[in-house]
Amino acid sequence: LGTSIEADDVQTLILNGYRHLEGACFLRLRFGDPARACRFLSELEDRVNTGDSNPDRAVHVAFTHRGLAALGLDAEILASFSRPFREGMSRRHRRRVLGDVGENDPRHWDWGYSPGSEGPGWVDALVLVYATTDAGATAAAQEMSDLPGAESIRFDALATPGSLIRDGVPGEHFGFVDSIANPALRGTRSDASATAIAPGEILLGYPNEAGLLSESPHMMAGAGGSGSLPRGDFGRNGSYLVVRQLEQRVGAFWSYLFQGRERAEAVRLAAKMVGRWPNGAPLARWPEREPPARRDQGDDFGYASDPDGLRCPIGAHVRRANPRDSVPLVDGAEASLRITRRRRILRRGRSYGAAVPGWPDPAKMRAANAPDGGRGMHFLCFNANIESQFEFIQQSWLNARKFAGMANDADPLVANRDWPANGGPNDFTIPERGGLHRLRMLPQFVRMRGGAYCFMPGRRTLRYLARLR
Amino acid sequence: MVPNQSTLTVIAPIQGGRHAIRELGRLFAPLRAQLLQGGPWDERAPFLLETVHFARFVILEPARGPDGIERPACLLFSTQYDGSQDDHLDALATQAAPVLLPIFRHCAGFDAWAGPPPVALRRFLRRHAVRTQAFYIGARGRTVGRIREEAKIYVMARACVEAGGLPADLAARYREIRKRVEEQLGGPGALDQPASPGSIQGRLEQHRQRAIVGFTAYAVAGVALFFGALVEIGRTSWLGFPVLLALVAVIAWLRVLEGQDADALAVEEAAGSNALDSRGQERHEARLAAHEDRWQQNQLTAVTFLGTSPLRRWLQRLVVWGIDLRAAYWNTQGLLHGVPSIHFAHWLVFDRGRRLLFVSNYDGSWASYLDDFVQHAAKPLTAIWSHCSGFPRTRLLVFGGATDGPRFKRYARAHQVPPELWYSAYPTLSVQDIQRNTEVADGLRASLVDPAELREWFAKL
């Protein structure tokens, strides 16, 4: 099996994180008349970027299961998508898997869920627009509603754009550099990296790390229009896109850390929680103090030499989300790496909303005392298997109170604390030479505001969808 | 006397068809609601008995096997408990009768006139109890009471450290913690009970004979088969080449047989009523998911039809027997074939040897549990389930099969049966929690003085 990727058919966002495009505007779409929606899609298809390129403006589209159904896609193809995608993010059982209970319950979301099957919260498709500035992206997003066929579609922007990319370095509202460790795909430009993973971990219809083709929605040979898709592989060159709007409570975060602490100690504690210093330098390498800012924060490190978490706590956010060469309860770095390579996700998140005055200086942010709300992260990630990648990380690594044999620790940054059945408020343990230092009953710093499981099709499949009617 | 954990599985046909199943549903609903209600688990009254670690009721729907024979609906009741089976049956028949009687009344073979209720119930349970083939225990030698008490001790000791105000000297600090915990437990002497027993003796003593026979048989067979053949081939005598050839021929022949039999298994799967259409699958999945992730722990109950060939059934017995030996004497430290998240698991065949039952209680999500199995134990898994209809294709019994993770998971999911009721005596504790709590409690019981030991003990808090 060749691993070269048909890049010309892959939407560029999967191949390129657009660090040079600081602006972004995300729209959620509700389709009305299916024929006109298809008309709109055929116009949109001309504008969607594919191929491994570096455009100065980009448009991308992804669909939810209900969106594909609304277009009139064949029931057999719809049924061949993976279960999480078919069920959607807000299905009752998924809430327990994802920790979307209590404050994070879909009933409180701004979008992505409505009681009843036809409420206003639901999403049929997402259009993601990128440009050099937020204003440019917003203007480009406006143009979408002028395309032929758009008159029957309802457009809503997800949240106020608010880019925190500075000079190509992505930031986030707590004041940390973000999106550092992302897997490179074999068969693409970036695959020189030693950590490159098989394309089938992200793209559908390609060989994955187990040497099997990633599961992909398909259609029976001879079905109408199947000729336009090779081997009836409907998902080929596409990927599942997880979207979660996570509100960040910057005030709550820093005022908690500054309680009775000097600035240096507060920042050190924050770094212990994150697993990296604000400038992105990993604690695994710089455990004592933040090194001078560097452009390359480094991704080639592990935790095997730090089994007790004295440098980077075992429960730190980045160590939980990707334990690299030391998966808890697994013997040996080799075995760990084999496991983590099958759990990677390709993150494409962007901050939204205005930063707290003084960002990214912790002391100033804390002093600004800005009310929480209205800012956070549009967490976006691609993966080929939502269940064993995104959901696994969320459930078994981030939200798991028993991670690495701990008693009641969950992710110090993003976990849901309002979850009585899962132990309620949780702790964060920092192993230190003289014993353990434990932060008890952490407040909730991140709150779920809306989300959806989407499918971002390849160009050929998008064309097929546009011609459904 | 070393405390011992065992498992009981009772399977009996349900009498009265759909109506009886509906009636049972009505009995289970309030019990289920009671087990799921809020509040700390360790303050709740135990379900059935104080000696029960886990309990479940499962309804096995009517099913047509690969032999084309229709099986009636069955009620499955399974417990993992402390002590001997006799004591357990006695206690169930007396103390748990108010819960069990109305339920088992719906089973064929329950004779309410056999005597007073406890006698009738005991006779019924004994008659329908199915022998366990293989049994694995994650946290050896610990009773429910001990697990719950040691969880408390750990929380107390931790709270002392977190409250602060303790002496700086490690030994003094330890003594202070020990004193406070002892007070909370009810005064001096509360920590004087003996430290936990070694994990292995219990079953070794019980089954010493079987262990010796088992190990010897395995060793002899292994050495004879493999090394004997290899040495023979390695010799430069005239025999070497023909023997090698014969070996290759035999393996090839077995492989062909296996392939043919796999076809037969696939046909059998299609002939049985297990194959669900996509709507049925959706409903099945939804019913399973509705019961999952309510707690940190989860459960799995899976029923599969064994192939009709006697060789397959004999091989299955051999493999599961090997697993039992391994679980009893090798995997005694909380890992079964490298899987760290299992509290209890057991295998048995029922339905006159035609159906295989797997029951387990585990930590974390279904996905991570299954992935652990695929990553650490694909070969044993394949060796067990490859004799069942519908299993992903295998090569030489242990290759292929479960290594195809997604297919294996679909297979497992399709054969999983949702429980009507599932109870855990400590639903938020993981196997690692229990292990650590014991170490912390034992550390207090032992009155440590050695600085190195003290440091180690504090690191566990």
- List CB contacts (< 8 A) between A422 and chain B: 295-296
Task: Give the C-alpha distances (Å, rounded to integers) separating A214 from A235, A388, A390, A458.
Answer: 10, 12, 15, 15
Cβ contacts of B404 on chain A, cutoff 8 Å = 212
How far does B277 lie from chain A, in Å, by closest CA? 11
User: What residues of chain A lie within 8 A of the CB of B433, using their CB?
Assistant: 402, 405, 407
Contact B162, A440 (CB under 8 A): yes
Quote the pLDDT of residue B104. 95
Compute the C-alpha angle A13/A16/A22, nearest 5°. 85
Angstrom distance (rounded) from CA A180 to CA A17: 11
Cβ-defined contact of B406 to A215 (cutoff 8 Å)? yes
Per-residue pLDDT tens for A29-73? 999 999 999 999 999 999 999 999 999 999 999 999 999 999 999
Q: Which residues of chain A lie closer than 8 angstroms to B406, CB-CB?
A: 212, 215, 385
Look at residue A392 in the predicted model and tell me its pLDDT: 94
To test the contact with chain A by mutation, choose from B371, B373, B413, B431 the residue with the greatest count of A C-beta atoms within 10 A, namely B371
Q: Which of A97-106, B72-81, B220-229 has the lowest mean pLDDT?
A: B220-229
Answer yes or no: are the C-beta atoms of A353 and A22 closer than 8 Å.
Answer: no
A276 forms bridges with which residues in the sheet? A282
pLDDT of residue A101: 94
Q: Which residues of A touch B430 (CB under 8 A)?
A: 402, 405
pLDDT digit string, tens, across residues A280-325: 999 999 999 998 876 556 788 999 999 999 999 999 999 999 999 9
pLDDT band at B200 (very low <50, low <70, confident <90, very high): very low
How close B386 comes to chain A (CA, Å)? Answer: 20
The mean per-residue pLDDT over the stretch B345-350 comes to 94
Higher pLDDT, B128 or A292: B128
Distance CA A408, CA A402 (A): 6
Average pLDDT for B97-121: 89
Residues 6+ apart with CB under 8 A from B389: B66, B265, B266, B268, B269, B272, B274, B304, B305, B306, B307
Q: With a cut of 80, say whether residue A1 has pLDDT above it.
A: no
How far B400 CA sits from the closest chain A CA (Å)? 12
Which of A17, A397, A458, A1 has the alpha carbon at shortest distance from A208?
A: A1
Q: Which residue would you say has higher pLDDT here, B29 or B36? A: B29
Pairwise CB contact (< 8 Å): A440 & B162: yes
Nearest chain B residue (CA) to A86: B282
Q: Rg of chain A's alpha carbons, rounded to an integer? A: 22
By Cβ distance, the residue of B278, B403, B461 closest to A436 is B461
B110: left (phi over 0), alpha (psi -120 to 50) or beta: beta
How far does the CA of residue B8 sit from the closest CA of chain A (Å)?
A: 28
**How does the average pLDDT of chain B come out, rounded?**
84
Residue A407 in contact with partner chain B when CB distance is under 8 A: yes
Residue A445 contacts by C-beta under 8 Å, 6 or more apart in sequence?
A: A174, A248, A249, A252, A253, A256, A413, A414
Residue B202 is predicted with a pLDDT of 46
Residues of chain B found within 8 Å of residue A93, distances taken between Cβ atoms: 286, 289-290, 292-293
In this model, does residue A148 exceed pLDDT 60? yes
For residue B4, what pLDDT is reported?
85
| Over residues B404-409, mean pLDDT | 80
What residues are paired with B297 via a beta bridge?
B363
* Min Cα–Cα distance to chain A from B289, Å: 6
Residue showing tokens 């040079």: A20
> Does A109 contact chain B (CB < 8 Å)?
no
* Pairwise pLDDT comparison (B319 vs A375), residue with the higher score: A375
Give the least confident one: A49-53, A86-90, A290-294, A349-353: A290-294
Chain B residue whose CA is closest to A82: B406
pTM of the model: 0.89
pLDDT classification of A212: cutoffs 50, 70, 90: confident
Both tokens of residue A93?
């059982």
pLDDT at B266: 64
Three-state DSSP class for residue B156: helix
Distances (CA, A) of B443 to A64, B162, B349, B453: 55, 18, 42, 9
Average pLDDT over residues B134-163: 91
What is d(CA A350, CA A245) in angstroms, rounded to the nearest whole number?
10
Contacts of B168 in chain A (CB under 8 A): none
CB contact under 8 A, A435 and B459: yes
pLDDT band at B264 (very low <50, low <70, confident <90, very high): low
Pick from A87, A212, A310, A388 the residue to mutate for testing the B interface (most B CBs within 10 Å). Answer: A388
Q: What is the DSSP letter of B205?
A: H
Which amino acid type is present at position A302?
G
Distant-in-sequence, close-in-space partners of A336: CB < 8 Å, separation ≥ 6: A304, A323, A324, A325, A326, A327, A330
Q: Tell me the nearest-neighbour CA distance from A167 into chain B, angstroms.
A: 40
Type of residue found at B36: L
Dihedral-angle region of residue A404 (phi above 0 means left; psi in -120 to 50 means alpha; beta otherwise): left
Structure tokens at A205: 């219809």
Pick from A54-58, A230-234, A306-310, B8-12: least confident: A230-234
- Judged by CB atoms closer than 8 Å, whether chains meet at A402 and B154 is answered as no
Q: What is the pLDDT of residue A2?
A: 47
A405 CB neighbours in chain B (<8 A) are 430, 432-433, 435-436
* Cα separation, B34 vs B73, whole angstroms: 26
Distance from CA of A341 to the nearest CA of B (A): 13
* A388 touches B at CB < 8 Å: yes
Q: Which residues of A touch B159 (CB under 8 A)?
A: none
CB contact under 8 A, A93 and B428: no
Point out the least confidently predicted range of A329-338, A438-447, B320-329: B320-329
User: What is the mean pLDDT of the segment spanning B57-76?
Assistant: 92
The average pLDDT across A389-407 equals 93
The dihedrals phi and psi of B358, each to the nearest 5 degrees, come to -125, 130
pLDDT of A112-138, one tens digit each? Answer: 999 988 888 999 999 999 999 999 999
- Whether B246 shows a pLDDT value over 70: the answer reads yes
The number of residues making up chain A comes to 469
Of A79, A97, A420, the CB nearest to B365: A97
What's the mean pLDDT when you consider all of chain A? Answer: 92
Mean pLDDT, residues A381-390: 95
What is the rounded average pLDDT of the residues A255-276? 95
What was the pLDDT predicted at B31? 92
Residues in chain A with CB shorter than 8 Å from the CB of B294 are 96, 421
How big is the A-B interface in CB pairs under 8 Å? 79
pLDDT of residue B235: 59
Phi first, then psi: give them for residue B355, nearest 5 degrees: -125, 145
CA nearest to A212 within chain B: B404
- Indicate the residue of B154, B365, B433 with minimum beta-carbon distance to A395: B365
Average pLDDT over residues B140-144: 89
Of B38, B371, B432, the CB nearest to A388: B371
Q: How many CB atoms within 10 Å of residue B219?
A: 10
Rounded CA separation A382/A385 (Å): 9
**What is the predicted ipTM?**
0.84
Residue A69: both structure tokens together = 């159904």
B294 and A79 within 8 Å at the Cβ level: the answer is no
Q: Are A412 and A317 in contact (CB under 8 A)?
A: yes
- Indicate the DSSP class of residue A445: -
Is residue B324 within 8 A of residue B214, CB to CB? The reply is no
Distance CA A230, CA A225 (A): 11
In this prediction, residues A183-187 reach a mean pLDDT of 90
pLDDT score recorded for residue B230: 65
Structure tokens at A71: 């277009």
Q: Which of B294, B406, B459 sits opposite A421 (nearest CB)?
A: B294
CB contact under 8 A, A329 and B432: yes
pLDDT at residue A375 is higher than 80:
yes
Asked if A372 and A249 count as a contact pair (C-beta separation under 8 A), the reply is yes
- Tell me the CA end-to-end span of chain B in Å, nearest whole number: 30
State the Cα–Cα distance between residues A36 and A153, nearest whole angstrom: 8
By C-alpha distance, which of B322, B325, B340, B320 is closest to B433?
B340
Cβ contacts of A210 on chain B, cutoff 8 Å: 403, 405
CB B386 within 8 A of CB B266: no
Q: Quick check: B227 pLDDT over 70?
A: no
Asked whether the beta carbons of B336 and B298 are under 8 A apart, the reply is no
Indicate the SS3 state at residue A36. Answer: helix
Which residue in B has a C-alpha nearest to residue A92's C-alpha? B290
